[in-house]
Amino acid sequence: MSKLRIIINMLCLTALAAIVVACKPGVPDDYIQPGEMEDILYDYHVAMAMAQQGDEAHRDERIVEYKEAVLRKYGYTDKQMDASMRYYMRHTDQFHDIYDKLAERLDNEAKDLGANGSGMGMAKTYKQNGDTADVWKGPQAVVLMPEAGQNSYSFAMRCDTAYHVGDTFSMQFDAAYIIQDGTRNAVAVIALTLDNDSVVSQVMRISSDSHQSTFFGGFTANRIKAIRGYILFPPDNGVIPSTTLKILCITNIHFLRMHAPKQQPEQGAQGPGTSAAPAPQGPSPSGMPVSGGGSAPAPAGGAVQMAPQTLREGR
Q: What is the mean pLDDT of each run of 10 residues along the chain (315 residues)?
A: 59 50 67 92 86 79 87 92 85 82 85 54 48 89 85 92 90 87 88 92 90 88 91 80 76 90 59 43 40 40 41 40
Do residues 155 and 229 make contact, with C-beta atoms less than 8 angstroms apart?
Answer: yes
Distances (CA, A) of 49 to 43, 52, 56: 10, 5, 13
The single-letter code of the amino acid at 233 is: F
CB 258 within 8 A of CB 126: yes
Burial class of residue 278 (count of CB atoms within 10 Å of its CB; 0-12, 13-18, 19+): exposed
**CB-CB contact of 246 with 182 (8 Å):** yes
pLDDT score at 201: 92
Q: pLDDT tens digits for 153-166?
A: 999 998 988 898 98
Return the domain boundaries, the chain: 25-115, 116-262+283-290
| C-beta separation of 234 from 151 below 8 A | yes
**How remote is the C-alpha of 107 from its chain's centroid?**
10
Each as own residue / partner, the long-range contacts of residues 293-300 (CB below 8 Å, 24 or more positions apart, any chain) are 293/220, 294/220, 294/221, 295/219, 295/220, 295/221, 296/221, 297/194, 297/196, 297/221, 297/222, 298/194, 298/196, 298/198, 298/200, 298/219, 298/221, 298/222, 299/198, 300/196, 300/197, 300/198
Report the distance separating Cα 174 and Cα 49, nearest Å.
Answer: 9
Which residues partner with 188 through β-bridges?
204, 231
- Predicted local distance difference test score (pLDDT) of residue 217: 85
Q: What is the rounded distance in angstroms from the CA atom of residue 6 to the CA atom of residue 13? A: 11
pTM of the predicted model as reported, rounded to 2 decimal places: 0.65
pLDDT score of 11: 55
Q: Which residues of 160-195 are buried (b: 16+ CB within 10 A; e: fewer)?
A: eeebeebbbbbbbbbbbbbbeebeebbebbbbbbbb
pLDDT for res 276: 42
187 contacts 171 by C-beta, under 8 angstroms: no
* Residue among 5, 47, 23 nearest 177 (CA): 47
- The per-residue pLDDT for 25 is 62
pLDDT of the residue at 19: 43
Q: Which CATH architecture describes the domain 116-262+283-290?
A: Sandwich (2.60)
